Amino acid sequence: MVSTVNMTVQIGSLKMRNPVTTGSGTFGFGSETKDLVPLDRLGAVTVKATTRERRLGNPPQRIVETASGILNAIGLQNGGIDDYLANKAPYLRCFDCPIIVNVPGENPDDFAYVVERLTAAGAADAVELNISCPNVSHGLDYATDPQLAASVVAAVRKVTSMPVIAKLSPNVTDIRVIAKACEDAGADALSMINTVVGTAIDPRKRKFRLANITGGLSGPAVKPIALLAVWRCYNTVKIPIIGMGGIACPLDAIEFMLAGATAVACGTGNFVDPTLSLEVIDGIEKYCVENGFADVNALIGAVTAA
């Protein structure tokens, strides 16, 4: 089949050949699954969080399985920006695939420092500000307060011309307030949702199942929460949204686009099937063909009342 569907989407100045990327922390740094996923087929690759300093992460148990999902408390284990620039970016740059680097931080300076290094080295094509990781101290705070969220976006905005994507938390009363604050502070796009904070208990041992006690819930269990967040923000901000949360098949991704997402990320689904992104790309295209859409962008926000 020769495709006549335009699959190209735009996240700020970042052009993606199709709307599919990977959820940060669910696809490593791209090389782990090289036997299974040719990176140049993805719309973009979003790599694992990269911090200012190396982080050892949380002690195990780090992941437990819950109904239709998992709880994780990895704790941002990574080698730090020096390791990323020396050992990860060169591999990623071998492919014709935009790189989105997820950047957490404990204060606006941390975020700005890492983004500045990435910008100077040309080692990313966009940055995703992880203002919402529930597994590290201070991580969540930034995404639960509009002023704090804006302060991080503004600090990063000053040091880069790359697209700045703010990753939002669902663990708030009204996500639209945070979305608007990030847009006003200069964010080029939003990604949502990060994980839903929760816990699990082993009743036989009478112990928490995660060493960290709390973890972030992801997988199909959170999809309804994520879809509503995307739809609400789509109706609140003008900047594009990368939708994620429980995508396990192409039609899940279609739902996110109909709710208002310009692009989507496969996350926990990669753990079940590392080739999920490829299946989703093909499935979106097939859906467009079968439903008479010549441009995938026509799906964005196209949901109507029941």
Partner 1 sequence: MIKKEAAQVVSVTPLSAPRHFVLTMTSAHLASHSRPGHFIAVAADTGSAILRKPFSVYTVNPDVGEISILFSVYGPTTTAMSRMLPGDSIDVLGPLGGRIFDPEPIKGIHHILVGGGYGVPPLNYLAKTIRASAPDAMVTVIIGARTANLLVGDDGLLDAGVEVIYCTDDGSAGVQGRVTDALLPLLKSDSRVYTCGPTPMMKAVGELSEAHGVDCQVSLETFMPCGVGICVGCVVKMRDGVFSRTCTDGPVYPGCEVAW
Catalytic residues: 133
Is residue 108 part of the contact set for partner 1 (CB under 8 A)?
no
* Selected range binding partner 1 among 11-19, 71-79, 169-177, 282-290, rule: CB under 8 A: 71-79
AA identity, residue 47: V
What is the total count of residues that contact partner 1 (CB under 8 A)? 35
Is residue 28 part of the contact set for partner 1 (CB under 8 A)?
yes
Half-sphere exposure of 130 (CA within 13 A, CB side): 30
User: How far lies 178's CA from each of 42, 105, 129, 171, 218, in Å?
Assistant: 29, 18, 13, 11, 21
The only residue of 36, 94, 120, 251 in contact with partner 1, by rule CB under 8 A: 36
Q: Which residues contact 218 (CB under 8 A, 6 or more apart)?
A: 23, 69, 70, 72, 195, 196, 245, 246, 267, 268
Which of 283, 230, 218 lies closest to 253 in space, CA to CA?
283
The only residue of 1, 2, 67, 306 in contact with partner 1, by rule CB under 8 A: 67
Interface pattern 114-143 for partner 1 (x via CB under 8 A) = ------------------------------
Is residue 283 part of the contact set for partner 1 (CB under 8 A)?
no
Interface pattern 180-219 for partner 1 (x via CB under 8 A) = ---------------------------------------x
CA 172 – CA 122 distance, rounded (Å): 34
The only residue of 97, 268, 284, 288 in contact with partner 1, by rule CB under 8 A: 268
Contact 262, 284 (CB under 8 A): no
Using the minimum distance from each CB to partner 1, give the nearer residue, 35 or 290. 35
The only residue of 18, 72, 212, 277 in contact with partner 1, by rule CB under 8 A: 72
Strand order in 99-103's β-sheet?
20-22, 263-266, 241-243, 189-192, 164-167, 126-130, 99-103, 45-47
Is residue 236 part of the contact set for partner 1 (CB under 8 A)?
no
* Selected range binding partner 1 among 6-14, 66-74, 189-197, 289-297, rule: CB under 8 A: 66-74
Q: Which residues contact 151 (CB under 8 A, 6 or more apart)?
A: 108, 142, 185
CA 140 – CA 58 distance, rounded (Å): 16
Using the minimum distance from each CB to partner 1, give the nearer residue, 155 or 217. 217
CB of 72 to partner 1, least distance (A): 6
The only residue of 60, 90, 122, 224 in contact with partner 1, by rule CB under 8 A: 60
Contact 241, 251 (CB under 8 A): no
Question: Where do we find the tokens 């639209």?
Answer: 176
Q: Is 12 left (phi over 0), alpha (psi -120 to 50) or beta?
A: left
Rule CB under 8 A: which residues touch partner 1? 25-28, 32-33, 35-36, 48, 56-57, 59-65, 67-70, 72, 74, 77, 219-220, 248, 268, 270-275
